Chain A
Amino acid sequence: MSKSTLSRSKPYAQLAAYLLFCAVILAVPSFVTDAFLLNKFARYLALGLAAAALALSWGYAGILNLGQGVSFGIGAYAIAMHLKLKTSPVHTGSAGLPDFMVWNNLDHLPWFWQPFHSSLFAVAAGILAPVVVALLLGSFMFRARIAGVYVAIITLAMLAVVNLLFIDQQAYTGGFNGITDLAWLEAGSVTFDPYSPAFYYLSAGALSLCLLLGLAFTRSKAGLILQAIRNDADRVRFFGYDVAAYQSLAFAVSAGMAGLAGMLYAMVLEFASPTFMGVPLSLSMVIWAAVGGRGSLLGAAIGAILVNFMQGSLSESFLDTWQLILGGMFILVVVFLPNGLSSLIGILADRLTRPARQTPDTALAALSEAPRAGRTPS
């Protein structure tokens, strides 16, 4: 299939592309000095990471997760809880209760908030909590051989559940208000003001690291098995592999990355909001990944950055028209270029190296997945 050939045929070219991208994003602060702009770029990078995480589970393992917001949101809230506790004593006295708890008549800090006084714990929780949730949900689904459309539906429903619970439990989560008034993260002697180059480097560093680790993961044996599962789960099962375990693993790794993205996003916005777990944002992430290329972590990340960058640089008045164009562009990509813009490069490269050969219809042939359970396609 196209993607496996792509990733095996030009391993060095691929690595070079990843390294080049990392070098470019890390070099940005040398050219951009406007703090507001840097903050915006840091935000796009965080969203790029979320899209790359999605590509890992969707493009490589065939798990279309419409509830990416669950992991993203948990990450965001984990770090927000820590940063909120750092500002609390300033505003509500020595007891140090976050303001929304005071309005909701709580008189002491709930036990599960206690450990978030530690920044190390918060950062760990922001990554590991989504991983644990994904492992639980993943084995719950994959042990029953749920696949295809039904994974999409379950993850979408879970997203709705988590979102509603966060809105309802106002005394513990800030409800609809979200968690506002966050302090800046400190690590050692560095303060990560979201409008500083320091924060941008944090964001760019996290994305670079995740992309390279992700690339290594997809090239590992587990990564190859996952791609095989994506193409034909039953055949892999007959070889004796524990398909559910591999799928859960991919789902969990993706969740951890999304959690990290959520943390960065909450810090860059200085806010954690239940809209991070709304249906529109999660589906937008799918769009970004699809536009950039679901079959490539780098492609998905670039897709997210590109779409958001274009959206952010347009004037407010043109935004509605832009969204119309974006919708149309997205449909065109899905219909005619299922592997996203990044597959264009592969197609062009093929054309250049083998000009006489047939057109690469391999990309189009991919991904005719059928829902495994329930009905068989007619």
Chain B
Amino acid sequence: MTFTRRNFLKSTAVAGVAGSVGFPHIWIKDSGAAWAANGEIKVGVLFSLTGTTAVVEKSMHNATMMAIDEINAAGGINGMKLTAIVEDPASDPATFADKSNKLVLNDKCVSVFGSYTSASRKAVLPVFEKRKNLYWYPTLYEGRECSKNVMYTGAVPNQQQKEFIPWLVKTFGKKFYLIGSNYIYPKEENNVCKILLKELGGEVVGEEYVPLGHSEFGSVLNKFRETKPDVIFSTVVGDSVIALHKQYKAAGFSPDKMPMASLTTSEVEIAAMGGEYAAGHFTSAPYFMGHQSKENEVFVENYRKRFGKESVTHFVSEAAYFQMHLFRKAVEKIGKGDITPIAVRDATAGLEIMAPQGKVKVDGDNLHCYLWPKIGQAQADGQFKVIQQSSDWVKPEPYWAYPGQSCTKDGLKGA
């Protein structure tokens, strides 16, 4: 006999002594009723309010809380209020895992909304898979993941790089320097970039990873000087983005000749560094703050009313915002007693919603979102000018760079 929790439950129950020994009671409540008790639905909000990626995650936290308040102000979901349980994982993956265990096991949240870096998502993933809970991840990421316990509402490489890299090669040239933060997201995103460049006849003249929170780019800039790339492909994240842009400009480089092309730099980092440092560089994303639509006008106006006239929205906070409304729409479809994380997931698959960027849809198979890719150039006022945009929404293909593999309803196929 193995001494696992479930077997232990059975054996003690059979013996008729359940509860008298050291038995963990939380497992008794593994039914639907526990997830929406006392007329409230508990959701976890797990964004770093401190540490190196707080610069971005704080705004994601804000957007999430704003959506929760909107939902509650409109009467909640089927009469039940959303209760947000906020934790600060301090930009550290181990703390992310720890806090999500708490949110799932102790607070019994039916879903957790959170995180920016892939390192933190990879850290919490096993928790949600083991505990059969649901994690909502609003950030763009590197793809090559197919979890049935995560809703991915950010872009994957085929929604960012597919148009972007060919455009960069055509406009600026074939020599790329790949600079990223030292963790999984930049590595895998660069894997995809290299596959694309190979097809296009491009060349990687340098590939470098700096620690998260790094702020001394002198040696890296000298390498740019030495290798003379046409494009600097940057997957640097967090406050390092700010240091990199400032030092790039201070070193006398010009974005006309050697622009930085990023998948992560957004309005929020630019607001922190000052528009003049970002002006001229490029970002590929499904949403920019200046997007013209009725939904976006409302979103930006409400956001600024709440968080100040100077505050900005960006493609990650936009996803953090609309995914909460996706959650609302999904829970509305479920009966009160039937709310479980898995039921929420199944109700979300295939769902459509009007987001600030346009109408988005959750793919029924891979649980990623159909999004509207754009290429933007940063301006001195801190906003992006859209250079090119797709005419239709683009289907998410998390295994796009790996032909023969695909993420289906039953998990990864063809690996």
Contacts and interface: CB of A to CB of B under 8 A. Distances in A.
Interface stretch (B69-77, B121-129, B284-292): B121-129
Interface string A178-208: 1011100010011101011110000000000
Contacts of A39: 101
Contacts of A93: 415
Contacts of B25: 33-35
Contacts of A189: 1-3
B119 interface: yes
Chain A interface size band reads 35 or more
A177 B119 contact: yes
B105 interface: yes
A195 B105 contact: yes
Interface stretch (A46-54, A124-132, A269-277, A328-336): A269-277
B409 to A, nearest CB: 18
Contact of B126 (A29, A175, A270): A270
A4 B415 CA distance: 64
A103 B212 contact: no
B3 A196 contact: yes
B92 A273 contact: yes
Interface residues of B, number: 45
Interface in B185-213: 187-188, 191, 209, 211-212
B266 to A, nearest CB: 21
Interface in B102-123: 102, 105-106, 118-119, 122-123
B211 to A, nearest CB: 6
B2 A190 contact: yes
Interface string B92-106: 111101100110011
Given A92-B415, A275-B94, A181 B126 contact: yes
B97 A271 contact: yes
A176 B212 contact: yes
Nearest to A176: B183
Nearest to A190: B3
A167 interface: yes
Interface in B324-379: none
Contacts of B4: 191, 193, 196
Nearest to B25: A33
A193 B5 contact: yes
B27 interface: yes
Nearest to B104: A36
A92 B183 CA distance: 19
A196 B24 contact: yes
A21 B398 CA distance: 53
B21, B87, B184: residue with the most chain A Cβ atoms closer than 10 Å: B184
Given A93-B415, A103-B184, A273-B93, A180 B3 contact: no
B24 A29 contact: no
Given A176-B119, A180-B126, A196-B5, A273 B94 contact: yes
9 contacts: A35-B5, A36-B106, A104-B187, A170-B187, A178-B123, A181-B126, A191-B3, A196-B8, A196-B24
Interface of B: 1-5, 8, 19, 21-27, 86-88, 92-95, 97-98, 101-102, 105-106, 118-119, 122-123, 125-127, 144, 182-184, 187-188, 191, 209, 211-212, 415
Interface of A: 29-30, 32-36, 38-39, 87, 92-93, 99-100, 103-105, 167-168, 170, 175-178, 180-182, 186, 189-191, 193, 195-198, 269-271, 273, 275-276, 316
Which 7 residue pairs are nearest across A and B when measured between Cβ atoms? A35-B24, A273-B94, A29-B22, A181-B126, A197-B22, A177-B119, A176-B183
